[in-house]
């Protein structure tokens, strides 16, 4: 479903720094993959390339048969809107939208009508255990609750691919454990596949396959 | 992620704690937001510059006016002044023989029209021998030249008059008396520095003879004996003098200019202050948003141990830095503007008060320092509220995201805002203070301030009622606005200030212009107008010339008007006496009455009609009686009505010409209104008129259309400085809008990043921001209209009435207002979209996550 072939990416002007060098990865439908590695090795860059938020210098990123690198910005955005869900370390809920509005956002962007969207949003909030918090604003929630909302938002439109970037980085151990279980369960239920970027061995252990990203590329283990 | 690092700390260059904090809290943020800082500095600089320029030009003109009066009076302790028609010369020996008088100099002081050019020169006829005792500085350095003055053709010119006329000793100067040209020979120049204005000096006998004032004087300068109580003697003298002749000190004479123009000057000062006010608001709105953006840094500093007081001081210092730079720039710019304005529109900034005053720019360090300090004060005031709020905010909640709206919610402004508006509306009913519309201006200030204060609550209520659209980008825009009404209120307030100023000024100017047009329609009913000269006091048509004009082929009817002056009070400039045919039973036909006409009973004194200005100055009402010194004697008259007169700023009194001739025997006329026969050709009548009057005369023939156009051009020129100040204030307001939008867009970079992550295109985010901008601007325009309306009414009916004493009909320029509103909404949408584009210019990925 996702095929990354020989992807390289550098940043910087006069003295560019090569962040990724000839990285390849295949992710099959239903698979949940963890990518681990040291800070600055390019894990998040890889996620951005997969999401079409950035373009590789070399190589290809093919999602569901479409080469993301060959699309223009609008087409990449529309592809992302329909097929990708994001979970971030810092939650990134929109502070001025209620919990339900945050979760409804991807559905609204994908043109779903309000009645249908409301039912789906309540369903997802129920799944993450926050049905009662639909009308509250993110600032009224704890970190763990905010991350549950973020997970609901990432999966509400049943994306092909879920991208999670250090989703437990800001959470305590117990909450992290609950969140990882929820993520795995929901990826398997609502999404085609998932990629989890993390430093944490515990988080990595919740996935089907663990890959280590280093200067030499991606390797199993 | 490094969320709680202070971004400027890495660039600290000072080692001491104090400088470290100063740099982190004051200098680095100013540098970091150079564009925003520059706009705030510019706004303050513009306000200061306008204040400095207006004040320097005005005070230079006034200084010159006062200096001229002092120089002309020389060593005189009292000046006896009569109207233009003067008083009998027999008063001179009577005055000079008074025991308190040491020396007296008889004089004729007249504005004389120049032949061949539409201008006039002040000519003073005095006794050169007496002048040695009273006005020695006005005498030539060489005594032989003084003797030359006894030559009936000789005239001495002040150096500025000679420069202006491009004449030198020996040259000929032609002036108009009646419709004839009279030639003088320039005998020499007055000493440099003796009199800086344009002046011609002749012997008083020459003036009486050649300027057709035989047996008349209109001025006697008196030097009293040492030890005389000047004030007491003035009172005694006044009781002695004939009606309409005033004894005054040279100081009163000099202060008349200040008195005449002070309302106009106050209006200009107020406009400059409004520019400063909008500048302060710009500082306020940009500081509120900047401090919201920096709230976590500030909270961290508080958590690290920076005291509340230190934080407040440093944040105020940020405003002070903006104020100081703005004040310095504004002072320099103001000086340059003053020089430019003086050269371009003259010492009275185009208003016509000091038409012939030649003023050099005088730099007053005190004035410059005052306006610079005002600039710093306004910047500090603008920075004070946000700094206070930021300093007293509890650090813990501020370290959490999303408390921006909460922190703004703490500003309880509804009560204060409502009270301020109510007080403003009540104050608008107050009368003038010492002849100045002080209460009116305070009322405007309070209404503007109140509208800003009620804005958060008003905006919250309005936005809360917005329907939620189906389209995601629009729904997001509405959700954003509904969730952040207090932040939106800052942008709305910037537009309200800007738009309400536009609305109010447009209402006032449009009302004035429309009223002027209808006034011109009423007061210029004839087809042609004829006058012997545009300016000056010695041009007139003799009865014979009037007959010839009336008998010109093609003319059906001719009316002649005689204008004279009446001195009703020493402290005030003379009132114009307008002797014209008036139908007592229907005065409204020729005079635009603003009061109900009063027809005097047969046993009551004859009627006069008083202009609004004169009625205000002398407290007159229709039906009352007034003593007027006409024809050398004070007699009672009945005020038969009050009329609107936009032409004479010092007031006018109209009376029927037949009555005037009966009282004075004066059959001369200054203006002729001519109605043509239906079949007459305008060009042929004009040619025929020229053939019937002396060829060399500088008379003017103008059609009604010409006069209307000239009057409206003069109106527009008079309002040129007002327009300039208004544009400045409006620009500052629009700066405010752009600053608040760009600050908010920058603060929302991470949000834009998240939206891009979840699949919103740049265009959709642009649509969202455009929608936000449109809603904010539309709300701003609506509230601006609601605020500008009462402010416009106050400007039209209170400030204008109390300043200039003439009334206007209210006229609402709907079309320009609608156009302006659309322009502002379009500008706001463009600014919002542009700000968002600029904020999204950087990689959106980095907006969400700083590291790789």
CB contact under 8 A, B761 and A108: no
Strand partners, B352: none
Collapse the DSSP code of B227 into the 3-class scheme (helix H, G, I; strand E, B; otherwise coil) and give the result.
coil
- Is the confidence at residue B694, as pLDDT, over 60? yes
Neighbours of B214 (CB within 10 A): 10
B172 lies in the same domain as B295: no
Q: What is the DSSP letter of A26?
A: E
Report the pLDDT value the prediction gives residue B155, as an integer from 0 to 100.
Answer: 93
Report the pLDDT value the prediction gives residue B639, as an integer from 0 to 100.
Answer: 96
- Maximum separation of any 2 CA atoms in chain A, in Å: 53
Candidates B484, B758, B849; nearest CB to A81: B758
Collapse the DSSP code of B587 into the 3-class scheme (helix H, G, I; strand E, B; otherwise coil) and give the result.
helix
Report the pLDDT value the prediction gives residue B20, as an integer from 0 to 100.
Answer: 54
pTM of the model: 0.76
B195 lies in the same domain as B218: yes
Residue of B nearest to A107 (CA): B472
Q: Give just the sign of the alpha carbon dihedral A204, A205, A206, A212.
A: positive
Does any domain span residue A212? yes
CB contact under 8 A, B759 and A165: no
Say if B624 is an interface residue toward chain A (CB within 8 Å): no
C-alpha separations of B744 from B210, B538, B726, B750, B758 in Å:
75, 67, 27, 11, 21
Say if B396 is an interface residue toward chain A (CB within 8 Å): no
Q: How far apart are CA B119 and CA B500, in angstroms?
A: 41
Say if B815 is an interface residue toward chain A (CB within 8 Å): no
Does any domain span residue B472? no
Q: Which of A77, A101, A163 to mutate to test the interface with B (most CBs of B within 10 A)?
A: A77
Say if B394 is an interface residue toward chain A (CB within 8 Å): no
Does any domain span residue B124? yes
The bridge status of strand B633-643 relative to strand B625-630 is antiparallel
Candidates B405, B484, B761; nearest CB to A74: B761
Does any domain span residue A37? yes
CB contact under 8 A, B759 and A11: no
B233 lies in the same domain as B260: no
Domain extent at residue B122:
78-248
The tens digit of pLDDT for each residue in A168-204 reads 877 788 878 888 888 888 888 877 899 999 888 888 9
CB contact under 8 A, A114 and B470: yes
Does any domain span residue A164? yes
Nearest to B37 by CA among B28, B48, B24: B28
Q: Which of B759, B768, B846 to mutate to test the interface with A (most CBs of A within 10 A)?
A: B759
Contact assessment for residue B457 and residue B779, using Cβ atoms and an 8 Å cutoff: no
- Is the confidence at residue A28, as pLDDT, over 80? yes
Q: How far apart are CA B351 and CA A32, in angstroms?
A: 81
Report the pLDDT value the prediction gives residue B661, as an integer from 0 to 100.
Answer: 95
Residues of B in contact with A90 (CB under 8 A): 1, 3, 848-849
Report the pLDDT value the prediction gives residue B9, as an integer from 0 to 100.
Answer: 44
Last residue in a domain, options B204, B233, B248? B248
Report the pLDDT value the prediction gives residue A19, as an integer from 0 to 100.
Answer: 85
The tens digit of pLDDT for each residue in B381-394 reads 888 888 887 887 76
CB contact under 8 A, B845 and A54: yes
The tens digit of pLDDT for each residue in B449-480 reads 899 889 888 998 999 888 878 788 888 888 88
How many structural domains compose chain B? 3
Does any domain span residue A202? yes
Contact assessment for residue B765 and residue B755, using Cβ atoms and an 8 Å cutoff: yes
Residue of A nearest to B753 (CA): A92
Report the pLDDT value the prediction gives residue B721, as an integer from 0 to 100.
Answer: 66
* ipTM computed for the complex: 0.76
- Is the confidence at residue B682, as pLDDT, over 70? yes
B307 lies in the same domain as B235: no
CB contact under 8 A, A153 and B484: no
Does any domain span residue A213? yes
Say if B483 is an interface residue toward chain A (CB within 8 Å): yes
Q: How far apart are CA B55 and CA B334, in angstroms?
A: 9
C-alpha separations of B330 from B47, B49, B272, B375, B376 in Å:
7, 4, 12, 8, 11
Mean pLDDT of chain B: 83
Does any domain span residue B111? yes
| Structure-token match 């204030």, residue found | B729
Distance from the A48 Cα atom to the nearest Cα atom in chain B, whole angstroms: 8
Does any domain span residue A56? yes
Report the pLDDT value the prediction gives residue B347, as an integer from 0 to 100.
Answer: 61
Nearest to B640 by CA among B562, B578, B584: B584
Strand partners, A58: A8
Say if B479 is an interface residue toward chain A (CB within 8 Å): yes
Torsion angle of alpha carbons A28, A34, A37, A42, nearest 10°?
A: 50
Residues of A in contact with B403 (CB under 8 A): 139
Residues 737-766 of B with CB under 8 A from A: 750-751, 753-764
- Is the confidence at residue B80, as pLDDT, over 50? yes
Distance of alpha carbon B679 from its chain centroid, rounded? 46
Candidates B401, B482, B760; nearest CB to A95: B401
Q: What is the DSSP letter of B211?
A: T
- pLDDT confidence bin for B90, thresholds 50/70/90: very high
Nearest to B389 by CA among B415, B403, B410: B410
Strand partners, A146: none
Report the pLDDT value the prediction gives residue B16, as an integer from 0 to 100.
Answer: 41
- Is the confidence at residue B494, as pLDDT, over 90? no
Q: Which two tokens stand for residue B617?
A: 């100055």
CB contact under 8 A, B479 and A81: no
Domain extent at residue A197:
2-7+20-92+154-220
Q: How far apart are CA B303 and CA B301, in angstroms?
A: 5
Q: What is the DSSP letter of B242?
A: P
Residue A58, exposed/middle/buried by CB under 10 A (0-12, 13-18, 19+)? middle
Say if B844 is an interface residue toward chain A (CB within 8 Å): yes
Does any domain span residue A27? yes
* Spatial CB neighbours of B200, under 8 Å, sequence gap ≥ 6: B112, B121, B122, B123, B124, B155, B156, B157, B158, B161, B173, B184
Q: Count Cα atoms within 13 angstroms, Cβ side, for A148.
A: 24
Does any domain span residue B432? no
CB contact under 8 A, A88 and B849: yes
Q: How far apart are CA B168 and CA B737, in angstroms?
A: 59
How many structural domains compose chain A? 1
Q: Which of A18, A21, A96, A213 to mutate to test the interface with B (most CBs of B within 10 A)?
A: A96
Q: How far apart are CA B581 and CA B584, in angstroms?
A: 9
Mean pLDDT of all residues in A8-16: 77
DSSP structure string for B630-681: ETTEEEEEEEEEEE--SS-TT-EEEEEHHHHHHHH----BSEEEEEEPTT--
Report the pLDDT value the prediction gives residue B851, as an integer from 0 to 100.
Answer: 35
Say if B63 is an interface residue toward chain A (CB within 8 Å): no
Report the pLDDT value the prediction gives residue B14, as an integer from 0 to 100.
Answer: 35
B272 lies in the same domain as B407: yes
Candidates B483, B761, B849; nearest CB to A96: B483
Which CATH number covers residue A164? 3.40.50.300
Q: What share of chain B has pLDDT > 70, as a percent?
A: 87
Query: For chain B, what's the residue count?
Result: 852
B84 lies in the same domain as B232: yes
CB contact under 8 A, B760 and A48: no
B203 lies in the same domain as B312: no
Candidates A44, A97, A109; nearest CB to B759: A109
Does any domain span residue A66? yes
Q: How far apart are CA B184 and CA B537, in angstroms?
A: 17
B120 lies in the same domain as B237: yes
Distance from the A124 Cα atom to the nearest Cα atom in chain B, whole angstroms: 17
Distance from the A206 Cα atom to the nearest Cα atom in chain B, whole angstroms: 23
B565 lies in the same domain as B637: yes
B66 lies in the same domain as B153: no
Report the pLDDT value the prediction gives residue B422, as an integer from 0 to 100.
Answer: 96
Residues of A in contact with B478 (CB under 8 A): none
Last residue in a domain, options B248, B266, B294? B248
Collapse the DSSP code of B339 into the 3-class scheme (helix H, G, I; strand E, B; otherwise coil) and give the result.
helix
Q: Which two tokens stand for residue B302?
A: 């508080």
Does any domain span residue B31? yes
Does any domain span residue B394? yes
Return the minimum-mean-pLDDT range out of B224-238, B292-306, B582-596, B808-822: B292-306
CB contact under 8 A, A96 and B479: yes
B258 lies in the same domain as B397: yes
The bridge status of strand B700-703 relative to strand B625-630 is unpaired
C-alpha separations of B534 from B286, B677, B700 in Å:
53, 26, 7
Which range has highest mean pLDDT (A18-27, B524-533, B654-663)? B654-663
The tens digit of pLDDT for each residue in B238-296 reads 999 988 899 998 888 777 767 767 777 777 777 777 778 777 877 787 777 777 777 77
C-alpha separations of B596 from B586, B600, B609, B611, B641 in Å:
11, 13, 11, 13, 6
B139 lies in the same domain as B9: no
Q: Which of A40, A86, A139 to mutate to test the interface with B (most CBs of B within 10 A)?
A: A139
Mean pLDDT of all residues in B17-22: 55
The tens digit of pLDDT for each residue in B335-382 reads 898 888 777 766 665 555 555 556 677 777 888 899 899 999 988 988
Residues of A in contact with B764 (CB under 8 A): 109
Does any domain span residue B454? no
- Is the confidence at residue B605, as pLDDT, over 90? yes
Please name the helix (run of DSSP H) or strand (run of DSSP E) that holds residue B726, with its range, or none: helix B720-747
Which range has highest mean pLDDT (B271-280, B417-426, B500-509)? B417-426
- Is the confidence at residue B434, as pLDDT, over 50? yes
The bridge status of strand B200-203 relative to strand B120-126 is parallel
DSSP structure string for chain A: -EEEEEEEEEE-SSS-EEEEEEEEEEE-TT-EEEEE--TTSSHHHHHHHHHTSS--SEEEEEETTEEGGGS-HHHHHHHHHHHEEEEETT----TTS-HHHHHHHHHHHTT--HHHHHHHHHHHHHHTT-GGGTTS-GGGS-HHHHHHHHHHHHHTT--SEEEEESTTTTS-HHHHHHHHHHHHHHHHHH-SEEEEEES-HHHHTTSSEEEEEETTEEEE-
Distance from the B293 Cα atom to the nearest Cα atom in chain A, whole angstroms: 14
Q: Look at A217 and B643; give whichever has higher pLDDT.
A: B643
Report the pLDDT value the prediction gives residue B848, as an integer from 0 to 100.
Answer: 62
The tens digit of pLDDT for each residue in A83-130 reads 999 888 877 888 778 899 889 888 888 888 767 788 999 999 988 888
- Is the confidence at residue B184, as pLDDT, over 80? yes
CB contact under 8 A, A106 and B400: no
- pLDDT confidence bin for B124, thresholds 50/70/90: very high
Please name the helix (run of DSSP H) or strand (run of DSSP E) that holds residue B372, with its range, or none: helix B365-392
Nearest to B520 by CA among B701, B681, B703: B703
Q: What share of chain A has pLDDT > 90, as a percent?
A: 24
Does any domain span residue B609? yes
- Is the confidence at residue B3, as pLDDT, over 70? no
Collapse the DSSP code of B685 into the 3-class scheme (helix H, G, I; strand E, B; otherwise coil) and give the result.
helix
Residues of B in contact with A101 (CB under 8 A): 479
| Structure-token match 């003298």, residue found | B237
Last residue in a domain, options B664, B697, B730? B697
């Amino acid at each position: 479903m996702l095929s990354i072939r020989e992807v390289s990416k550098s940043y910087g002007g006069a003295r560019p720094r090569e962040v990724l060098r000839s990285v390849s990865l295949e992710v099959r439908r239903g698979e949940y993959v963890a990518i681990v590695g040291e800070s600055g090795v390019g894990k998040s860059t890889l996620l951005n390339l997969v999401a079409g938020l950035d373009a590789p210098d070399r190589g290809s990123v093919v999602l569901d048969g479409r080469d993301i690198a060959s699309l223009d910005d609008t087409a990449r955005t529309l592809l992302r809107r329909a097929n990708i869900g994001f979970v971030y370390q810092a939650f990134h809920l929109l502070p001025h939208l209620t919990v339900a509005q945050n979760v409804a956002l991807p559905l609204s962007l994908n043109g779903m009508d309000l009645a249908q969207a409301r039912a789906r949003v309540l369903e997802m909030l129920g799944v993450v255990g926050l049905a009662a918090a639909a009308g509250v604003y993110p600032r009224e929630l704890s970190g763990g609750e905010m991350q549950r909302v973020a997970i609901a938002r990432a999966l509400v439109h049943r994306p092909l691919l879920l991208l999670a970037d250090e989703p437990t980085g800001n959470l305590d151990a117990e909450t992290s454990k609950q969140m990882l279980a929820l993520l795995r369960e929901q990826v398997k239920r609502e999404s085609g596949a998932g990629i989890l970027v993390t430093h944490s061995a515990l988080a990595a252990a919740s996935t089907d396959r663990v890959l280590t990203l280093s200067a030499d590329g991606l390797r199993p283990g | 992620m490094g969320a709680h690092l202070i971004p400027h700390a890495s660039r600290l260059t000072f080692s001491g704690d104090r400088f470290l904090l100063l740099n982190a809290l004051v200098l680095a943020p100013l540098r970091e937001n150079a564009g925003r800082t520059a706009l705030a500095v510019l706004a303050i600089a513009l306000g200061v510059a306008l204040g400095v320029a207006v004040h320097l030009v005005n005070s230079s003109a006034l200084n010159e006016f006062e200096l001229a009066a002092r120089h002309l009076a020389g060593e005189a302790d009292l000046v006896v002044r009569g109207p233009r028609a003067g008083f009998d010369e027999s008063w001179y020996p009577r005055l000079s023989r008074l025991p308190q008088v040491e020396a007296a100099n008889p004089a004729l002081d007249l504005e004389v029209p120049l032949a061949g050019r539409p201008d006039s020169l002040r000519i003073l006829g005095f006794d050169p021998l007496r002048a040695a005792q009273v006005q020695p500085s006005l005498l030539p350095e060489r005594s032989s030249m003084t003797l030359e003055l006894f030559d009936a053709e000789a005239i001495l010119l002040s150096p500025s008059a000679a420069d202006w006329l491009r004449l030198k000793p020996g040259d000929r100067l032609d002036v108009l008396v009646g419709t004839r040209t009279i030639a003088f020979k320039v005998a020499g120049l007055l000493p440099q520095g003796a009199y800086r204005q344009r002046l011609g000096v002749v012997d008083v006998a020459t003036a009486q003879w050649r300027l057709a004032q035989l047996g008349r004087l209109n001025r006697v300068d008196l030097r009293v004996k040492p030890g005389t109580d000047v004030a007491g003697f003035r009172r005694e003298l006044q009781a002695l003098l004939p009606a309409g002749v005033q004894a005054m000190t040279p100081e009163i004479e000099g202060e008349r200019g200040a008195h005449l123009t002070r309302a106009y000057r106050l209006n200009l000062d107020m406009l400059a202050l409004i520019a400063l006010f909008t500048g302060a608001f710009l500082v306020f709105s940009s500081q509120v948003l900047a401090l919201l953006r920096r709230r976590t840094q500030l909270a961290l500093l508080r958590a690290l141990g920076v005291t509340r007081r230190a934080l407040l001081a440093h944040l105020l210092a940020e405003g002070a830095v903006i104020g100081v730079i703005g004040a310095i720039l504004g002072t320099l710019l103001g000086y340059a503007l003053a020089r430019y304005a003086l050269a371009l529109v003259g010492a009275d900034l185009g208003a016509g008060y000091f038409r012939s005053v030649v003023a050099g720019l005088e730099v007053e360090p005190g004035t410059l320092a005052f306006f610079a300090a005002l600039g710093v004060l306004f910047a500090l005031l603008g920075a004070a509220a946000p700094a206070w709020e930021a300093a007293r905010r509890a650090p813990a909640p501020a370290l959490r995201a999303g408390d921006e709206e909460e922190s703004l919610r703490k500003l309880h402004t509804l009560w204060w805002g409502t009270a301020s508006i109510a007080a403003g509306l009540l104050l608008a009913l107050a009368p003038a203070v010492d002849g100045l519309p002080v209460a009116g201006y305070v009322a405007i200030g309070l209404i503007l301030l109140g509208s800003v204060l009620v804005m958060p609550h008003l905006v919250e209520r309005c936005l809360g009622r917005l329907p939620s659209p189906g389209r995601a980008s629009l729904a997001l825009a509405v959700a954003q606005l509904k969730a952040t009404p207090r932040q939106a209120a800052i942008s709305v307030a910037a537009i309200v200030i800007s738009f309400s100023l536009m609305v109010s000024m447009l209402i006032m100017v449009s009302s004035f212009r429309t009223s002027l047009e209808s006034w011109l329609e009423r007061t210029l009913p004839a087809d042609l107008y004829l006058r012997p000269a545009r300016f000056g006091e010695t041009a007139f048509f003799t009865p014979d010339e009037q007959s010839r004009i009336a008998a010109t082929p093609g003319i059906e009817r001719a009316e002649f008007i005689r204008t004279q002056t009446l001195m009703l009070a020493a402290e005030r400039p003379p009132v114009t006496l307008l002797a014209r045919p008036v139908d007592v039973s229907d005065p409204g036909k020729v005079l635009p009455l603003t009061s109900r006409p009063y027809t005097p009973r047969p046993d009551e004194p004859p009627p006069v009609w008083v202009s609004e200005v004169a009625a205000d100055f002398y407290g007159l009402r229709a039906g009352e009686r007034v003593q007027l010194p006409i024809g050398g004697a004070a007699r009672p008259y009945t005020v038969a009505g009050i009329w609107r007169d936009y032409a004479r700023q010092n007031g006018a009194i109209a009376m029927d010409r037949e009555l005037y001739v009966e009282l004075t025997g004066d059959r001369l006329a200054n203006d002729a209104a001519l109605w043509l026969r239906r079949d007459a050709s305008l060009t042929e009548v004009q040619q025929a008129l020229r053939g019937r009057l002396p060829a060399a005369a500088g008379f003017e023939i103008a059609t009604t259309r010409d006069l209307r156009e000239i009057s409206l051009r003069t109106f527009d020129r008079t309002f040129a400085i007002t327009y300039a100040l208004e544009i400045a204030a409006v620009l500052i307001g629009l700066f405010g809008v752009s600053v608040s939008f760009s600050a908010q867009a920058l603060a929302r970079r991470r949000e834009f990043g998240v939206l891009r992550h979840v699949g919103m295109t740049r265009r959709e985010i642009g649509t969202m921001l455009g929608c936000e901008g449109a809603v904010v601007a539309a709300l701003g325009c609506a509230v601006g209209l609601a605020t500008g309306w009462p402010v416009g009414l106050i400007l039209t009916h209170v400030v204008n009435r109390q300043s200039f004493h003439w009334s206007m009909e209210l006229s609402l320029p709907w079309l320009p207002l609608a156009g302006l509103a659309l322009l502002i909404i379009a500008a706001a949408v463009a600014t919002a979209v542009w700000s968002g584009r600029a904020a999204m210019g950087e990689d959106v990925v980095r907006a969400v996550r700083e590291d790789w």
